[in-house]
Structure 1
């Protein structure tokens, strides 16, 4: 079997196991990406979640000796929820981004990649392979762009002609020399919608992201959220889809090809108030299988408090007071005190002032002072 026949066999097999798109690229150094990452590092635009070694992120040879090719795969996920529950005045709801609907995509993609690896090794037992999804060293997007899966858009996503940017990406590095596919031309053109509507101005220019300002990143942090971002969060509990939903290339794109990716509406759009008092065990049982749970319940609960403030949900006052009085975590007490300032009344002011006298944590005191000032005003 020559390299072209091997490639065709891999493509055919990938389709049989439900991979929606596959592309092939050389394993040469990603020089352009390296320059962009060095700029990102110099400007402190990194999130801190990525691999810190830029050489490992851009040189496949450091990850697999004698790496020759990279196989990129894409799986399309839904952009619309069937029968989404409504947020009511009595029961306000938050939202997880689309990439956290259904089963954790890392699990779904790893299963496909492991099957692909096994198939390759069956055909070429002496081959070496190494696969990764998202948390690996390589940039999934840079690989996908080089492999012709789609183009690297101004919103920092890969956009495919077939599925828009609603795709999960993964790759297999191998020492096999496989014919590469042609990279796709950029189709964003003069469109700048994603940059213009980014809630926090995180998209600096087309293709450059200040992760420190990106709502998708901010929803995953565990400390106090800077006040300038709280009003931008809305009811987002995890992630942000704004730069995808405004993209003209995503108009009408909604694929339900994988049952495991279908969202449970009560998990993708959960009620906010019950989240505040959920134990670790309850959180894991309900949300543990979705990608948005990877940082634990703390960021989700903090974001739920901010969402209740966004809605000015007066029915949440007893829940928020309970958090201020009983939660051992300063971030929760402080954020709840701030939220009470947004939605409370004179009776809340008295309660908050009494709690302020007992509070020992300096940051919580500052948030309480903000809440008290808002209530006095």
Structure 2
């Protein structure tokens, strides 16, 4: 099975973006979080993305953004599960990377996915990581959620994108907790402020996405007509 067919299957399952990276593009991955640490026989890594409704950025309530984020996570986990099963029907071994699951890395005091979704996406040519530590894609800006598959088959990789972020630092300046003042995001500061229980309603919410809101590239070409100036 070639790269073209791989993408056709992923798009048929509901992905909006799909790209492929060769295993040699992960030489700088942190120890313990390289694709080969999860699947020693991995030869290619497939990244896919699903667009996120931009209207949620303009909503005064944080409920729609939170609920859509939870729903799209479930959607993407279903896509990656169905994809891996389809690959096994063709005698190709694949391992799905959970869309939104992380573990504590005591060596760096950070939460990490098994393999970084955004670094996989960058290596697979979907987009580039911006100053706000989010992936920016030409089509949807940062309004895209990411999934990935580790694959035993050698596949033709996609060309990586040139940097899309111009380091305007608008995201740095607007962050309420200065989580972006250094090149490496202060992950815990960001998470403690942005994610948690609503004190009045006692439900978990995403309370901040200011860095995503203000980014000049937050919508991409597909959504640019929806940009609000207020």
TM-score for both structures, normalised by structure 2: 0.79
Distance change in 2, residues 1:186/1:205 (3 Å): farther
- Residue 6 of structure 2 is matched in structure 1 by 10
Q: Per-residue CA shift, 1:270-299, capped at 9, x if unaligned?
A: xxxxxxxxxxxxxxxxxxxxxxxxxxxxxx
Q: Please give the root-mean-square deviation of Cα atoms over the aligned residues, in Å.
A: 2.8
Candidates 86, 103, 112, aligned match of 1:119: 86
Distance change in 2, residues 1:19/1:102 (3 Å): same
- Taking the TM superposition and a 5 Å limit, the aligned residue runs for 1:219-368 are 219-220=194-195, 237-251=205-219
Separation of aligned partners in 1, 2:56 and 2:161 = 30
Is the 1:24–1:147 Cα contact (8 Å) retained in structure 2?
A: yes
- Residue 146 of structure 1 is matched in structure 2 by 123
Say if 2:164 is the partner of 1:196: no
Q: Which runs of 5+ in 1 are unaligned?
A: 35-54, 87-93, 225-235, 256-377
- Residue 69 of structure 1 is matched in structure 2 by 44
- Residue 209 of structure 1 is matched in structure 2 by 185
Distance change in 2, residues 1:172/1:211 (3 Å): same
Shift of 1:254: 7.6
- Taking the TM superposition and a 5 Å limit, the aligned residue runs for 1:65-144 are 65-81=40-56, 95-96=62-63, 98=65, 100-101=67-68, 103-123=70-90, 125=91, 127-132=92-97, 133-135=99-101, 136-144=113-121
Distance change in 2, residues 1:164/1:29 (3 Å): closer
**More helix by percentage:** 1
Say if 2:140 is the partner of 1:163: yes
**Larger relative contact order, structure 1 or 2 (CA cutoff 8 Å, min sep 6):** 2
Helix, strand or coil for the counterpart of 1:109?
A: helix
Shift of 1:217: 3.4
Larger radius of gyration: 1
Is the 1:131–1:172 Cα contact (8 Å) retained in structure 2?
A: yes
Q: Per-residue CA shift, 1:255-283, capped at 9, x if unaligned?
A: 6xxxxxxxxxxxxxxxxxxxxxxxxxxxx
Separation of aligned partners in 2, 1:9 and 1:254 = 24
Separation of aligned partners in 2, 1:102 and 1:157 = 15
Helix, strand or coil for the counterpart of 2:171?
A: helix
Separation of aligned partners in 1, 2:66 and 2:129 = 18
Instruction: Report the number of matched residues.
Output: 206
Q: Which runs of 5+ in 2 are unaligned?
A: 102-112, 224-230
Give 4+ residue runs of structure 1 displaced > 4 Å after superposition: 81-84, 251-255
